[in-house]
Structure 1
Amino acid sequence: MDSAAAAIDKKRRGNGQEALRRKPELRPVTRAECERSIELTPWQVLHALARGYVLPSQGMGRGLAEHWLSLKYCEALHGNRAGCMDLTEKGGSSERWYKAMQARELAVGFGLAAAEHIVQQRYPDHIVSVVDTSTVLRAGWALGGSQRGKGSRPRPDYLIEAWKPGEPSKVTLVACRGNHQKPNKRTGRTRNTTLQQLVKGSELTEGMQIGPWNTTPCLMLSTELMGQGGVVVNAVQSPGETLLPLRTPHGPGNADEEIRDKPGIPYPNAIHIPARDGKRARTVDGFQVPEKDLGWFGQLLARTAAAGLTAFSGGGPTTARYLTAHQGKAHYTAPIFAATSSYHDADIEIGDTKFVGTDHVFRMETVRIEAFSGMDSRLYGLIRDGRLEEYRQAAYELRSTRDNTDGTGKWNGPISFHDDGTVMALSILPIHRRRPR
């Protein structure tokens, strides 16, 4: 990575550009936090992908565009002879446009699944929530650059909050990228594309600081979809720990209280870098959450995560109540269309638990498949009624009662559960042949 970063900086200087800031300290992920392999099913990857994309893909076609984005990859993944997840023949399609889209999107599924696993190992008695960074930042910051044509400001792709009732939440910044490069057959080393993506992740995560500079832990991940022996996720980390102020269910600043967009958060030259390596202290451009705003940021993070849960379940107006105006509240209060919208009007029973959410029937060639995404009805009811702090307490108490399994109860298909109460379930429907009149 150091060599790849040096080559990038040399090229930028040759073009008259400044070198970009990156994380000053990077380390490998330790064996205690992640073994060399993670036990994971394809539907768990699709579940992670759907949860990651559900809020940032706002638009009038939100039902099909958001909830079911992941389902086009149902035929892309399988287990190879080595017992590792791999691309199928269809998944390895040679069309360049498809490969680019597949690498970008499956990188989110695999990257988030790996990042959640690592954070869960760090905080084993916590629940892990994933929130899209851009959706969070819209409540207080301008995402675009100040100069026309410069694009958006660097920032991580996702925030992972590890939370437990009665304890401060822990936040980790995550950047996910993906490619179809294969390791060198002779040396086994990762190719340059993966290294460049990890360097890019270091630049993105450096663009956001929560509290004092360089104290928030970061994970940079690059997924190789055509690696030797299956799918390979390369990960490096920047160490640290960021704690958000403790909230109490009925105390000041709890997540049940509605918050508004926070105007006036300083943005240009907001990040304060202390003196180090012989350089003077300086201020640079970037997203900075000041220490005095950590309480507000914790509320914002919890409410945005709740909006993601209800959007995943087809929440509509329920999703809107947890978003600010700048976060896209209007998208979920606008009229919806039957052909493209999803609504929480479907339910399934798994064991003794009822899940409420939304469903969709799609086809893969001649096979009709039903897909359901939703939440435990008890937990969804608490969020629907605005009792977010009670939801977190109830979800924490229920977290150990569910297990991922190929099929449970009357549902004849793969199911993915998550500790936050969400579920994604797939099932092949029987063939109904139409008879001529």
Structure 2
Amino acid sequence: MARTARQILNSLSRTQNVHLTSTADLVAHVDSAAAALDKKRREKGQEAVRRKPDVRPVAKADVGGSLGLTPWQVLHAVARGYVLAGQGMGRGLAEHWLSLKYCEALHGNRAGAMDLTDKGRTAERWYKSMQARELAVGFGLAAAEHIVRNRYPDHIVSVVDTSTILRAGWALGGAQRDKGSRPRPDFLIEAWKPGEPSKVTFVVCRGNHQKPSKRSGRTRSTTIQQLVKGTELAEGMQIGEWNSTPCLMLSTELMGQGGVVVNTLQSPGEARLPLRIPGAPGNADVEIDGKSGIPYPNAIRIPAREGRRARNVDGFQVGENDLGWFGQLLARTGAAGLTAFAGGGQKTAQYLTKHQGREHYDVPTFAATSSSHDAEIAVGGRKFVGTDHVFRMETVRIEAFSGMDADLYGLISEGRVEEYRRAAYELRSALPSAEEARKWNGPISFHEDGTVMALSILPVRRRNAL
């Protein structure tokens, strides 16, 4: 029986368990699959693919056994992950609204676990590929942020699309047109706290619909292959010394045993960026130029290890001398994502370099991408400003809202990134509580960076006869 719009919105608001797994057995399967791939390459006379050299399970204290999420929080994560991915080229429809097509794809099963609905399971093959890719971003980022928060409990975590970051320093055109296929992680998570150096983690997110074995329910081969691929992608970028940046490789089984299962492995490390002093040279309020032309060939230096000599290999290398610039770039690109989530336009353009797509935001476009805080809502005594989008579920008109806390948006829209970060850190405990959120007329999700995404049913609108 088809669900009503109200039933769908209620389902999006209910917290469900998402299974998180990270075991030594999973590592063994990934190592075995990688060795088999390398053997095939050797038989063909091809060089072995570079991967992270030290892949481990995530510590139990960091991963836990399950993660409580509402389906709407997952879609909020999808939206934040894709907000800058298209460089503003969506024009009439902002990139982050792509998450709305999954409003009817997720619910809680009888065991209280997150699962695909019947509609989510019967997608056409071409659609399943897109669904696996995009929902994997939501579940993967939610799990990765959960792990990073456990590692740095007194920090705020921000997510930035890696390709958007790299465009500021590694040219896409000219003699480097093949760069689109060059391995790199999908996202960078920055854990930050005012007055302390930021910590960066690489994240690779993949997903699949393959069903588990009926006999054993063992982790499926597609998941193993996706995690192997994740170790390749994560190795393609380095910050500072080789192999010093922590990485999380995640593969989400959308049709896992008992519900959605997120499989996670890590490559340990810690990458700290130089501490910025507000008001001093090098702070994130200062506009920066891109560094187009940072070399890719032979850019990464791998020291001598395991009987092999030191060597240079291709890759995206953030050198020691560029760490300060990279920290500014990361903070400013994150700020661009926040303003794009609240409406885009010139408020977003101020934070991007030319190669990151500044021109796509710096011109008048359609409302969905240039509506600068032209919509607002109030929850728990706080005002949020942003943009909205109206769509339908059958005959019912639904309004989607994405935005930021009004005070925080005021700072970020004026180019005051460092002050925004101080204010956002202080505001964490003042965000609307779960009880206050339940008073909203539909699903609503708040993030500690100040963003909010919500749905509500609009009243029936009757058109006058012409």
TM range (shorter): over 0.9
In the other structure, the counterpart of 2:9 is: none
**Alpha-carbon contact 2:254-2:260 (below 8 Å) kept:** yes
Which of the residues 80, 105, 109 maps onto 2:109? 80
Taking the aligned partners of 1:146 and 1:15, their CA distance within structure 2 comes to 28
Taking the aligned partners of 1:429 and 1:153, their CA distance within structure 2 comes to 45
Shift of 1:89: 0.7
**Alpha-carbon contact 1:307-1:322 (below 8 Å) kept:** yes
Taking the aligned partners of 1:243 and 1:340, their CA distance within structure 2 comes to 34
Q: Secondary structure at the match of 2:150?
A: helix
**Alpha-carbon contact 1:127-1:163 (below 8 Å) kept:** yes
Over 3 Å counting, the alpha-carbon distance change for 1:309 and 1:284 in structure 2 is same
Q: Secondary structure at the match of 2:298?
A: coil
Over 3 Å counting, the alpha-carbon distance change for 1:127 and 1:151 in structure 2 is closer
Shift of 1:14: 4.1
Over 3 Å counting, the alpha-carbon distance change for 1:224 and 1:409 in structure 2 is closer
Shift of 1:315: 2.6
Q: Deviations over 1:161-193 (max 9, x none)?
A: 000000000000000000001222322211111
Gaps of 5+ in 2: 1-29
Over 3 Å counting, the alpha-carbon distance change for 1:342 and 1:68 in structure 2 is farther
Which of the residues 377, 402, 426 maps onto 1:373? 402
In the other structure, the counterpart of 2:21 is: none
Between 1:10-19 and 1:124-133, the stretch displaced more is 10-19
Q: Secondary structure at the match of 1:38?
A: strand
In the other structure, the counterpart of 1:231 is: 260
Over 3 Å counting, the alpha-carbon distance change for 1:120 and 1:321 in structure 2 is same
Over 3 Å counting, the alpha-carbon distance change for 1:242 and 1:183 in structure 2 is same
In the other structure, the counterpart of 1:40 is: 69
**Alpha-carbon contact 2:368-2:389 (below 8 Å) kept:** no
Q: Secondary structure at the match of 1:261?
A: coil
Shift of 1:36: 1.2
Q: Secondary structure at the match of 1:129?
A: strand
Shift of 1:400: 1.7
Paired residues for 1:146-161 under 5 Å: 151-161=180-190
Taking the aligned partners of 1:7 and 1:400, their CA distance within structure 2 comes to 50
Q: Deviations over 1:379-420 (max 9, x none)?
A: 011111111100000000001222563863863111100010
In the other structure, the counterpart of 1:318 is: 347
Paired residues for 1:146-185 under 5 Å: 151-185=180-214
Letter in 1 for 2:265: V
Between 1:143-152 and 1:12-21, the stretch displaced more is 143-152
In the other structure, the counterpart of 1:392 is: 421
Does residue 218 of the first structure (1) align with residue 247 of the second (2)?
A: yes
Letter in 1 for 2:119: K
Taking the aligned partners of 2:435 and 2:464, their CA distance within structure 1 comes to 34
In the other structure, the counterpart of 2:311 is: 282
Letter in 1 for 2:121: G
**Alpha-carbon contact 2:212-2:218 (below 8 Å) kept:** yes
**Alpha-carbon contact 2:185-2:202 (below 8 Å) kept:** yes
Taking the aligned partners of 1:412 and 1:169, their CA distance within structure 2 comes to 37
Letter in 1 for 2:134: E
In the other structure, the counterpart of 2:326 is: 297
Letter in 2 for 1:353: R
Letter in 2 for 1:209: Q
In the other structure, the counterpart of 2:128 is: 99
Does residue 23 of the first structure (1) align with residue 49 of the second (2)?
A: no
**Alpha-carbon contact 1:201-1:220 (below 8 Å) kept:** yes
**Alpha-carbon contact 1:165-1:393 (below 8 Å) kept:** yes
In the other structure, the counterpart of 1:411 is: 440
In the other structure, the counterpart of 2:366 is: 337
In the other structure, the counterpart of 1:68 is: 97
Taking the aligned partners of 2:209 and 2:174, their CA distance within structure 1 comes to 31
**Alpha-carbon contact 2:344-2:370 (below 8 Å) kept:** no
Q: Deviations over 1:315-362 (max 9, x none)?
A: 310100000001110010123034775442101111211101000111
**Alpha-carbon contact 2:343-2:368 (below 8 Å) kept:** no
Q: Secondary structure at the match of 2:63?
A: coil
Shift of 1:366: 1.7
Letter in 1 for 2:343: G
Percent sequence identity over aligned pairs: 78
Does residue 110 of the first structure (1) align with residue 123 of the second (2)?
A: no
Taking the aligned partners of 1:146 and 1:7, their CA distance within structure 2 comes to 34
**Alpha-carbon contact 2:76-2:445 (below 8 Å) kept:** yes
In the other structure, the counterpart of 2:222 is: 193
Letter in 2 for 1:280: R
**Alpha-carbon contact 1:268-1:284 (below 8 Å) kept:** yes
Shift of 1:4: 1.1
**Alpha-carbon contact 2:78-2:96 (below 8 Å) kept:** no
Q: Secondary structure at the match of 1:173?
A: strand
In the other structure, the counterpart of 1:431 is: 460
**Alpha-carbon contact 1:13-1:19 (below 8 Å) kept:** yes
Gaps of 5+ in 1: none
**Alpha-carbon contact 1:84-1:230 (below 8 Å) kept:** yes
Shift of 1:114: 0.4
Over 3 Å counting, the alpha-carbon distance change for 1:319 and 1:148 in structure 2 is closer
Over 3 Å counting, the alpha-carbon distance change for 1:339 and 1:4 in structure 2 is same
Over 3 Å counting, the alpha-carbon distance change for 1:62 and 1:436 in structure 2 is closer
Taking the aligned partners of 2:146 and 2:200, their CA distance within structure 1 comes to 14
Between 1:335-344 and 1:42-51, the stretch displaced more is 335-344
Shift of 1:111: 0.4
In the other structure, the counterpart of 2:336 is: 307
Q: Secondary structure at the match of 1:326?
A: helix
Q: Secondary structure at the match of 2:142?
A: helix
Q: Secondary structure at the match of 1:154?
A: coil
**Alpha-carbon contact 1:404-1:416 (below 8 Å) kept:** no
Over 3 Å counting, the alpha-carbon distance change for 1:303 and 1:366 in structure 2 is same
Taking the aligned partners of 1:403 and 1:120, their CA distance within structure 2 comes to 20
Letter in 2 for 1:327: Q
Q: CA RMSD in A?
A: 1.9
Shift of 1:436: 5.0
Letter in 2 for 1:159: L
In the other structure, the counterpart of 1:250 is: 279
**Alpha-carbon contact 2:91-2:366 (below 8 Å) kept:** no
Taking the aligned partners of 2:105 and 2:436, their CA distance within structure 1 comes to 21
